[in-house]
Amino acid sequence: MILIQFTGLSGSGKTTLAQNVRHLLIENGYKAEIVDGDIYRKTICKDLGFSKEDRCENVRRLFNVGRNFVAEDTITLMSVINPYESLRNELRTHEFVRTVFLDCSINNLIKRDPKGLYKKALLPENDLNRIKNFTGISDVFETPAKADLVLKTDLETVSFSTNKLYDFIIDNLRKEL
C-alpha cells in the first residue's frame, strides 16, 4: 500500500486535494483515509507547539497513525505542512511513502488566505494578534529536493491536480503488483 506525504505551505491545497482524491479512490473501490494535520492538532498533537522539535514530533505522530492505515491495506493521504527536508527524507526511508509537493507562490497564498492566517502572520511585530513562527513568512519552509510528484496548485485547476494525483497513486499501486 502507499502513504502520500503531502508537503506545502498553508493554503496550498493539501486538504482539498486529499479530500478530492480520497473520494475518487473510494468511488473506484479502494480503501483510503486522510490523516489531516489540522484535525490531529486538536487531538493527539494538542500538547505540541510550533517549535522545530514540536513540528517534527507532530509529523512523526501523524506518520504513525498513517502507518497503521497502510498496515490495513489503506491508501493514506497525510495532509500536513511538513516543512523540513530532513524529516521528509526520514519518512521516505519507508518504501511505501511518496512525497507530493503542492507548489504555490507565496503571493497567491496571501491572496487566497482561506483561513485568514497570512493576514495575521503579516501583522506588525508588536500586534498581539500576529501569528509568530508562521511557516513561509516568519518560519522556514524547505522546498523539497526530491518530491515524487509536484502539483503547481496556483497554475493548475483543482480538477487537474486531483486527477494528476489520482493517476500518480494508481500508477504506484500498479508498480507494487
Helices (H), 46-105: 52-71, 85-92
pLDDT one-digit tens code per residue, 18-31? 999 999 999 999 99
Q: Which domains does the chain have, with CATH numbers?
A: 3-104+141-166 (3.40.50.300)
Q: What percent of the chain has pLDDT over 90?
A: 66
- Phi, psi at 97, each rounded to 5°: -95, 135
Three cell numbers, residue 10: 498553508
pLDDT one-digit tens code per residue, 72-107? 999 999 999 999 999 999 999 999 999 999 999 999
How far from 42 is each of 34, 53, 66, 98, CA to CA, in Å? Answer: 15, 18, 17, 26
Element (H, E) at 170: helix 158-176
